[in-house]
Structure formats: C-alpha cells, structure tokens
Amino acid sequence: MSTTTTTLTTAPPAKLDVVDTFWPRANKYLMHTGVTPSPVIITKALGTRLYDASGRQILDFTSGQMSSLLGHSHPEIVRVVNQQVARLDHLLSSMITEPVIELAERLAQVLPSSLEKSFFLNTGSESTEAAIKIAKYYTGKFEIVAFSASYHGLTSGSGSATYSAGRRNGGPAMPGQLAFPAPYAYRSPFKKADGSYDWETELEFGWSMIDRQSVGSLAAFIMEPILSTGGILVPPKGYLTRMAQECKKRGMLLIMDEAQTGVGRTGQMFAFENEEGVVPDVLALSKTLGCGLPLASVTTTSEIERGCTEAGFLWLTTHLNDPLTAAVGAKVLEIVKRDDYCRKAAERGGQLRAGLLKLQEKYWCIGDVRGRGLLQGIELIANADTKSPGTELGQAVSEAAMRNGLSCNIVNLPGMGGVFRLAPPVTVTADEIDEALGILDHSFDEVLAKRGQSIATV
C-alpha cells in the first residue's frame, strides 16, 4: 500500500487572518478525492465575481462548477431559498408538493411535447444513473454506448459510461459498456481529401465497431449534445440526427445528458434543439437547473414511464422530489424564459467567440476555438506544426489568468491537451466579457514571454 500523502495546497493567499491554520486544518481533516485544490481561498461570490480572502475580485467564467447559470446569489433565487426553507424544506420522498409539480410543469412547457414525465434528484451522476436504469428496465437490455470522451458521472452506472476520467483502479465496470469515437474534428484521423472532417465515415466506423462488439442487448446511447469535460467537442450539423436514426434502427433509447448545456447556456433552451426533429427518449438535467444548488431531473415519455412501471422500476433516494430545490428550479426556468436569456446567451456567446478567434490569430499556441453560446473552448498546442497537446502551457496560462483575476477551467484529461472551458453565467455583461478577454490576452503574453517564446511563431 502506498504511503504517499497528498497535501491540499502549498500556496495560500497572504492576507488571510487564519492563514496559519487554514491549510493545516484542511490537510488534517479533508480527504483528497483526486481533485487538485485551488490555492485561492474564496470567501464570497456575487453575480459573476468571486472574492478571495484578501478581498481581490475574480471573474468567474466557469459559473462555479459549471452550475451557477444566473450568477452567484441571484436576488430572486436568494428570496426563493429564504422563503421556501422557512416554510417547506424536506419531506418523506412519497409526499408530493406544489413546488415539485410546478417545476415538472414548467419543464414540460419548454420541452418537446413527448417529454412530459419528470422526477427530481440531486446531482448529475444521480440523474444519468437513473436514466441508464430507465433504459435497461424499459428495453429489457443491458448494453450502454457512450462517447470515448464522455463524462456522465462517477457512480456505478454513470461512471461505467464515462471514458474521459476515473476508470483506473476502481474495479470492473458494469457489464455491457461500449465506447464510440467522440466527434473530435480537430484531431480526428477521419479526413476527406480536402482535409475536412469526415464525420460520416467516422460515424459509420463507430457503429460497425458497436455492432461487432454487441451481444445483441443494446439498451441505450447516452451522450452530451456538446461534450464539455471531454474538451468542448461540438458535433457537426446533421450528426445528432444521424445518431438518433441509428439508435432507433437498433431499438435503442437515446439519452441526452444536458448537465452543462441545458437551460439556455448554448443559446437555446436545450442544446439538442440545434437540430430540428431530434428529441431524446430520456433527458437528464442537473447543474444549470439548480443554479448552484443540488438539483437534477430525469424526464421521459409517458410510454417509457408505463413500460418502466410494468417492469418494476424503483428509484428512491433521501432527497427525491424535495420541495426546496424544486422551488429553485422552477424559479430558474421562469427567469430564463421571462428575461430571454437564450437570446442573450447567443449574443454574448457570439461576442466571446469573436474575441477568442482574435486571440487565436494573435497566439500560435491557440490551435482551435469551438463551442456554442456561452459554452466556449480553446485548445492549446505545444507546437504549431505537430499540434501536440499544450497541456503544460495550458496549465501555466490558467494559473496566470487566475492571478490576473479570471477563473477559467482547464481540461487536462488524457488525449485532450489543454482545453479551456469558458462558461460564464448567462447574466454576464458585454463589459465583463471584454474584461475577461483582456485578462486572457495579458496572461498568454505573460506566459509566452516568461518562456522566451514569440507570440506569432514557435
């Protein structure tokens, strides 16, 4: 057994009164979970801003854990929480309340008409776990297909359908897990004669591999309509339509995991709406639905609900259909629709993307810019000729950005290089986007200068 001890940080901020005790207490009492802690101690969050222990402001361009859709401490959300926790917070899971019905009703109103049956949980892992179980109960089959760059959670079923991280040393995955090549246009080996991405051939290859591996028990394909943790991978137009057709051809359910893309972030209420006619059989929401609070949902059709009921489907958790978080989710949906945040996310996302493309023109190490709405990604490379992943460079720029006042998420998963995820709240202003772009610009310049590298060439 290894005796290596992981310390939580070695660089605490200098102006915290309890600096001498904060990190020693953290190291003593908190278990390391594989997530490297930030050296910054955040003491307050408001709107799009974080405030550290020294009072320094930091622009939050990851929306917390990609969740604070309306920014931190939105006044209407604060009011709902205060009112609801004082009146009706938690009950037996069998007791249905008005906030739960209101949330289910509001969801049905913004979803395709076939998706009308919902229940509510806490986390993304829980929602995808439940969605996978629904598929198995309804179809009577057990094989689950997911993208090779997928991230759907780390519980038993969701973790087995996650290929981007967390698979080593955890024992066997659930039986019947099959990986499908992710639509990674920037690095795909499938190219047409003109060098463009040949996604049709790649998709056919992927399905041929699935059909060879399957034992004849294909239950579902679970996917994000834009792969976020996998590196902001945006499928080309027509891809989701074709995938839905292939699933239907094989009698599989299509599960959409919109933990990070749902509720307006991409410029549409749901990212699967980018292709007309694509409607999942099961939709899993989390993160953005709760605006930072632990809320997730699973929505499906009446037919699938009936089949699951007949098969004896059971999902019972301590916080199933809790009224407190349901009231928050209903208010989130109300605000997003009322204040037209889908349109605003598309507009501000266009501004953000245009700024990132300008940075790409300036800095050789930005190999690709991709995303939709206020979910944008930039992939860094270490060499302009070979396009080798710029993982180390990306980490350096990420740390510089944080020092300069911008929190942006770096994805350092195997094979993904250094990919920034920029996902500010949909309440972000044009001035805040310009401010963030300026910080990024300065951070790239700073890091390359320290490394003695030119801006324009390697």
Percent share of the chain, pLDDT over 70: 93
Q: What mean pLDDT value characterizes the chain? A: 92
Given a cut of 50, whether residue 1 has pLDDT beyond it is no
Q: Just give the CATH number of 40-73+341-450.
A: 3.90.1150.10
What global pTM score does this model have?
0.92
User: What is the spatial distance between Cα 214 and Cα 178, in angstroms, rounded to a whole number?
Assistant: 8
Q: Which of 142, 150, 135, 131 is nearest to 218 (CA)?
A: 142
CATH 3.10.100.10 fits 75-338, yes or no: no
Per-residue pLDDT, averaged over 316-324, amounts to 95
Torsion angle of C-alpha atoms 228, 211, 136, 264, degrees rounded to 10: 20
Given a cut of 80, whether residue 2 has pLDDT beyond it is no
> Would you state the pLDDT for residue 3?
37
**What's the distance, CA 371 to chain centroid?**
12
> Would you state the pLDDT for residue 169?
85
- Tell how strand 409-411 and strand 418-422 pair up: antiparallel
For CATH 3.90.1150.10, list the domain ranges present in the chain: 40-73+341-450
For CATH 3.40.640.10, list the domain ranges present in the chain: 75-338
The helix-helix angle for 323-338 and 75-87 (nearest 10°) equals 150
Per-residue pLDDT, averaged over 43-65, amounts to 94
Q: Residue 245: how many CB atoms within 10 A of its CB?
A: 13
> Would you state the pLDDT for residue 417?
63
> Would you state the pLDDT for residue 413?
65
Catalytic status, residue 138: no
Q: Are 367 and 187 contacting, i.e. CB atoms less than 8 angstroms apart? A: no
What's the pLDDT band for 166 if we cut at 50, 70, 90? Answer: confident
pLDDT 10s digits, 219-248: 999 999 999 999 999 999 999 999 999 999
Given a cut of 90, whether residue 8 has pLDDT beyond it is no
Given a cut of 60, whether residue 10 has pLDDT beyond it is no
Question: Among the listed ranges 294-303, 371-380, 391-400, which one has the minimum average pLDDT value?
Answer: 391-400
User: What is the spatial distance between Cα 265 and Cα 345, in angstroms, rounded to a whole number?
Assistant: 6
The larger pLDDT score, comparing residue 45 to residue 412, is at: 45
pLDDT 10s digits, 61-84: 999 999 999 999 999 999 999 999
> Would you state the pLDDT for residue 20?
76
Q: Are 209 and 243 contacting, i.e. CB atoms less than 8 angstroms apart? A: no
What's the pLDDT band for 455 if we cut at 50, 70, 90? Answer: low
Catalytic hit among 29, 51, 137, 151? 151
Q: Are 186 and 415 contacting, i.e. CB atoms less than 8 angstroms apart? A: no
pLDDT 10s digits, 256-287: 999 999 999 999 999 999 998 999 999 999 99
